[in-house]
Amino acid sequence: MRKTIAMATTVMLALMVAGCGHKANDQAVAAGNDIANVSDDTGNAIANAADSVKEAVTPTPTGQEFADKAARSDAFEIASAKLARAKSASADIKSFASMMIEDHTASTAKIKTAASEANPAITPNPALTDDQNQKLADLQNLSGADFDKEYASQQVDAHQDALSLMTLYADHGDVASLKTAAADIRPKVQAHLDRIKAIKDKL
């Protein structure tokens, strides 16, 4: 009898300990999830704050400066896309390049029209920078897979810069027609950026 009682007591104690163990484990998992959520929220807050600080310290370009930067961006995209269609080994890159020529030709026209509506009228200057000319020269010297990787990398950088420019001017620009054009172009630039990032990840 005593042995039976002792065994029952032992089993009950084991079950209680096991139950406490499961509860503690569940609490630990929950705590870990809470920490992960807090970490994600903190990371997002820091990223948003960094973007806000960057925007705050980046001066808004004048209408002329914006028009020139947008025109140079379009000209660079079209020139590099023409190289991509001729030298790329990737069907995705070639398709993207064709889209760049079509879309940036359209945005060039949109910026020209908006600039002409400014008072006084603005004439965009599409002359490439030394840096843009060097990037084109770098592409000229590459072919096949090496070309594709360099082109994709350049395009990610170029579209991040273009997106920042469009966002900044759409939010804070002082020429109404150009502000409207920047806001209209911004979603297209974002779509281009998303697409080239996806292509780059597959190369």
**Domain residue extents for the chain:** 1-57, 61-202
CB atoms within 10 A of CB 8: 10
* Cα 126 to Cα 132: distance, rounded to the nearest angstrom: 11
- What Cα–Cα distance (Å) separates residue 80 from each residue in 12, 86, 96, 100? 75, 10, 11, 9
Identify the weakest region by mean pLDDT among 20-29, 127-136, 163-172: 20-29
Third-level CATH fold of 61-202: Ferritin (1.20.1260)
For 97-151, write each residue's pLDDT tens digit. 999 999 999 999 999 999 999 999 999 999 999 999 999 999 999 999 999 999 9
Model pLDDT, residue 27 = 55
Please provide residue 117's backbone torsions phi and psi, each rounded to the nearest 5 degrees: -85, -5
For 146-158, write each residue's pLDDT tens digit. 999 999 999 999 9
Model pLDDT, residue 58 = 83
Model pLDDT, residue 8 = 42
Model pLDDT, residue 156 = 98
Q: Is the pLDDT of residue 16 over 50?
A: no
For 36-77, write each residue's pLDDT tens digit. 454 455 555 554 544 555 555 689 999 999 999 999 999 999
* Cα 155 to Cα 108: distance, rounded to the nearest angstrom: 17
